[in-house]
Amino acid sequence: MEVEIISKEIVKPSSSTPKHLTTYNLCLLDQLAPPVYIPIILFYSASSENFCKKSHHQLKTSFSETLTHFYPFAGRLKDSFSVDCNDEGAPFVEAHVAGEMSMILEEPDIHQLEKLLPCNPHDVSPEISSQVIAAAQVNYFDCGGMAVSVCIWHAIGDSSAVASFLTSWAAIARGASDDIEGVISDCTSLFPPQDMLNFSLRNFLKEDLLNKIMTKRFLFDSSKLAALREEVGNGPCLERPTRVEAVAALIWSAVMAATREENENGTETETAEINAATMAVGLRKRMIPQLPKLSIGSIFQVAIANCSKDDEKLLDYNGLAGKLHESIGKMNNDYVRKIHAGGAYFQFLRKKGEELGKNPNLMKVFGFSSWCRFPFYEADFGWGKPTWVGTALTLYKVAIFIDTKDGQGIDAWVSLPKEDMVKFEQNPGICAYSSFKPST
């Protein structure tokens, strides 16, 4: 698939940021976000509208107006504590894709999707002050279809913030931008920033480590997911698992089986046997008072579910889902404030980071990040809602969940060491409930 860049320019906010707002302070949760971009790609089928003419007039102009509301996205990092909201702008790229959009939608491949992004998700600038915070790319296919992609630096925005940016951009493009409020919220009093000297998550994002990782998409459509939820809910630990809990329990079980099989067979491997799972839990609705719905930042807390050696072979899907449900349920206002009191959570992470920094391969945790229920499919720029929404992010031993278009299924993007992926995709549960092609 050939992608030819038609134009590339830096788009500045339509209005200058007031002087009293030129510094945006990062809270601890922002500081702890992985040093990557969050990439989202929205695919739009061909319509009677002329995408090229409309996009130049509407998309670029509305992108500039949206940056005025999300003004830190047009700035640059000042240091590990703040963003200089200097209105330097964000890259806006237009590209032509030789081929039909169907060649991607029929069997999405992360390497093809990466070509549709305005930057590499792992593109970390050696100079912090030159790190672009947001970028967008509009891709035109030969069939008349279009893919709009954005990359937002994770420290400034989690998946919820990316969804807020995209839906706000779309609303401005179609002239319906009356409710873009509460975008900027200072969380430094809730989560005071810390000195990040000698602390970094980059050990888990090194090129040599990521080269050993394979990322694949597993589709859990609505009918199979409904059946999976029934099976997972058949037990004493959890009666009604959510979609996310059911799929996470299945994937966690399959990952543990894959890593356990290698260890039992004495297979030479650099990876450790998985015995714990983490789930990124959004905090905007869980804090008291609640944080604004559209607020930027990486406002999430990681919940941890442990599976001991004694439990490992005894726990079925229901038991694993129960552990996940319990760990997620703890993330209320009181608990979050308690674990962060006096910087205790950061000190815990610093200690663990030092241990794993010596050998990231021995991490025994598999992570989940659910982007479900975020309104990506509501992003209508004036020519209808997306046909499909995808991502192109590889993280070490992590699965990312995105809704299917009907809101009932889940696209799971699973990243594992290559030797583990071979075992994982042959797992009976994975084969029974997931597929590799969309149900369109």
Residue extents of the structural domains in the chain = 2-173, 204-433
pLDDT greater than 90 at residue 202 = no
Query: 9 phi and psi, to 5 degrees?
Result: -150, 165
d(CA 197, CA 320) in angstroms, rounded, equals 37
| Residue (of 178, 187, 179) closest to 290 by Cα position | 187
Same fold, 2-173 and 204-433: yes
Question: What is the number of helices (H) and of strands (E) in the chain?
Answer: 15, 15
Which pLDDT tens digit goes with each residue over 320-378? 999 999 999 999 999 999 999 988 999 888 887 777 666 666 668 999 999 999 999 99
CA-based torsion, 258, 262, 264, 269: positive or negative = negative
Q: How far apart are CA 433 and CA 55, in angstroms?
A: 39
When the pLDDT of each residue in the chain is averaged and rounded to a whole number, the result is 90
CA 163/CA 232 separation, integer angstroms: 30
Q: Provide the pLDDT for residue 440.
A: 46
To which CATH superfamily is domain 2-173 assigned?
Chloramphenicol acetyltransferase-like domain (3.30.559.10)
Element (DSSP H or E) covering residue 166: helix 159-173
> Given a cut of 70, is residue 178 above it in pLDDT?
no
Q: Which two tokens stand for residue 395?
A: 């993280």
pLDDT of res. 29:
96
Query: Which of 9-23, 48-62, 193-207 has the highest mean predicted lDDT (pLDDT)?
Result: 9-23
**Nearest residue to 62 via CA among 188, 165, 151:** 165
Q: Backbone phi, then psi, for 55, in 5-degree steps?
A: -65, -40
pLDDT of residue 201: 66
pLDDT attached to residue 268? 45
Tell me the per-residue pLDDT of 10-55, one tens digit each, with 9 for 90 and over.
999 999 999 999 999 999 999 999 999 999 999 999 874 555 556 6
- Residue found by looking up tokens 């839990």 in the block: 281
Is residue 124 within 8 A of residue 202, CB to CB? The reply is yes
Selected catalytic residue, list 30, 69, 154, 325: 154
Q: Is 154 a catalytic residue?
A: yes
pLDDT digit string, tens, across residues 70-123 = 999 999 999 999 999 999 999 999 999 999 999 999 999 999 999 999 999 999
Instruction: Enter the DSSP assignment of 274.
Output: P
Q: Which amino acid would we find at residue 366?
A: F
- Per-residue confidence (pLDDT) for residue 274, from 0 to 100: 81
Measured CA to CA, the distance from residue 198 to residue 31 in angstroms comes to 13
Catalytic residue among 84, 109, 316, 380: 380
Check whether domain 204-433 has CATH 3.30.559.10, yes or no: yes
Exposure of 324 in the CB half-sphere (CA atoms within 13 A):
35
Q: What is the pLDDT of residues 252-306, one digit of tens each?
A: 999 999 988 665 655 445 556 788 999 999 999 999 999 999 999 999 999 999 9
Q: What is the pLDDT of residues 297-327, one digit of tens each?
A: 999 999 999 987 666 556 799 999 999 999 9
| Half-sphere exposure at residue 175, Cβ-oriented, CA atoms within 13 angstroms | 3
pLDDT value at residue 273: 79
Whether residue 398 is predicted with pLDDT greater than 70 in this model: the reply is: yes
Active site residue 380: yes
Instruction: Confirm if 357 and 375 have CB atoms less than 8 A apart.
Output: no
pLDDT for the residue 50: 55
pLDDT, average across residues 396-425: 96
* Closest CA relative to residue 346, chosen from 214, 125, 230, 191: 191
